[in-house]
Amino acid sequence: MNQPRGQVRPAPAPHTQPGLTHRVTHDAIVVVPGIMGSELYDTTTHQVIWGIANPRWLTRAWLSPKGLAPLHLTPEERIGDYSRVKARRLLQTPAWSPFLRGIEPYTKLVNLAEDRAAHPDAVMTFPYDWRLPIAVNARRLAREARDHLQNWLAHPAHTDARRQALEDRPARLVFIAHSMGGLVTNAALTLGGDSDLTADTRGILTLGTPFQGSVVAANILNALQGAPLPLPHSRLAAAAATMPAVHELLPRFRCLEDGMDVRRLTVADVDELGGDKELFAQADGFFTTLYARPLPQQQPVVGIRQDTVQSLTLAQGIVRASDYCFIPTAGGELSRDPNGAPRRIPIWGDGTVHRGSAAVTTPTIPIAAQHGTLASNRKALPLIEDFLLDHDALIRGPEQGDDGIGLNVPDYVTPDAGWECVVTGTDEPADIECSIAAVDGTWSSEDFSFDIAGDDRLSARISLPDAGLYRITARADYGPEVTQLVFAGPDQVDDE
């Protein structure tokens, strides 16, 4: 076929040229989601109790008196009978929760893992009942990861892939873990009952894992007795008060302002803010045991440039959270100003986990992203790919995410009522493109006018037409796009 005059045929893409091998890993990959990242199924009622994203289900779940009742731990579950609820698969559609906001599905991450694996059978997803103690899920993960590795080692595709591998060795495990999934993974390798599992693991990549907890968990538990909040927040608080996992996510760093001191939460504090004293004591004992042992080598990725609560005050049972934290000196004492007051230092986070909590010892790789989107973020996916392929550049390369914007929106709004969308990181309206669309595809808009709201902050008034789940996306030329989910619903629904 003749080529039109003046047109230059592009050179073939490098990976399509003859003689080049498509890079894959011959290791066994395990994808571990975060809290609320697994679909839950009640075996007694034969109903999905978490993981359906349609507006009608969201409204009933979050606004009706018994909408979240199936998520409450029963007395039988509190003493160890976990047969009622099964985690059947990872989230397939976006979900939403007060405080934690949007939780995006793991489809992009799993597809990437399967594309970079020698065979789809080398990829295992680990859905788990995220309400339960981390230790319970960790023991199951240790068993299933061991079985997965053994099955993959015996797979014919592993033998073929090993011949093509750059390193002549049997496959090992690679974990990609989001949010609480990183805690479950660390506990599986440290306390899971398989003493050889760490040696059989090549690496762990964590995405927004709260190694030292999150102040957001205190906000969740306090919603029953704190300042007036929409109904979904109180519904979540009532369910969360029964959940060991939420108590395991409470901050374990110095975060509570107490006069001229800043201290860690105590059992009495958790009781006062609305949590369960027994569950918090059990969580504290678990982490004391976990962190008394060396944790396996891992690479943490953390979201930054998002407003993130990092400290709190507690007065008459009411939590007031703030977007600043307190930094210890090299000797472990609090850094103080000339007047002796603890220095308040704002540090970016991902909207749920601040940067200081998202790493143990290894330096973090920062990405401008919200917590719920870290596993699908366009900047994170290439890092995950490098990690799967064992590229040394990931560990030794320069930090990412120096530039970027933040997105601050309510987690719950009422249809037709105006609300404020704030973009941080710029005070130039021309720098920003913003869009919002219904997750079900029925409505979208890009008609927003941003005004300067302060240093490096822009603000726009937005309203949504109907109840439902919406995704808002903000973009700037100099950084990655940032997305967040917003749920629009009525103030209340009729009880049935």
- State the pLDDT at residue 117: 97
What are the b/e assignments for 331-345, b being 16+ CB within 10 Å? eeebeeeeeeebebe
Residue type at position 289: T
- State the pLDDT at residue 19: 52
Q: Where residue 423 sits, what CATH number does that domain have?
A: 2.60.40.10
Gap between the Cα atoms of 468 and 97, Å rounded: 13
- State the pLDDT at residue 4: 42
Q: What is the mean pLDDT of the chain?
A: 90
Which has the closest alpha carbon to 131: 52, 246, 38?
246
Q: Where residue 189 sits, what CATH number does that domain have?
A: 3.40.50
Among candidate residues 152, 177, 207, the one where a domain is terminated: 207
- State the pLDDT at residue 5: 42
Gap between the Cα atoms of 19 and 218, Å rounded: 56
- State the pLDDT at residue 238: 94
- Give domain status of residue 481, yes or no: yes
Which has the closest alpha carbon to 418: 426, 409, 427?
409
How many domains in the chain?
A: 2
- Give domain status of residue 53, yes or no: yes
pLDDT less than 50: residues of the chain: 1-16, 393-401, 495-496
- Give domain status of residue 340, yes or no: no
**CA 157 to each of CA 64, 71, 116, 201: distance values in angstroms, whole numbers, following the listed order:** 50, 40, 13, 19
3-state SS of the chain: helix, strand, coil percent to 5?
30, 25, 45
Q: Indicate the DSSP class of residue 22.
A: P
Residue type at position 318: I
Among candidate residues 184, 207, 230, the one where a domain is terminated: 207
Residue type at position 251: P
- Give domain status of residue 412, yes or no: yes
- Give domain status of residue 265, yes or no: no
Phi-psi bin for 213: left (phi > 0), alpha (psi -120 to 50), beta?
left
Domain range enclosing 423 = 406-488
- Give domain status of residue 88, yes or no: yes
- Give domain status of residue 370, yes or no: no
Among candidate residues 207, 230, 249, the one where a domain is terminated: 207
- Give domain status of residue 73, yes or no: yes
Q: Sign of the C-alpha dihedral, residues 96, 100, 102, 106?
A: negative
- Packed helices 55-63 and 231-240: angle between N→C axes, nearest 10 degrees: 70
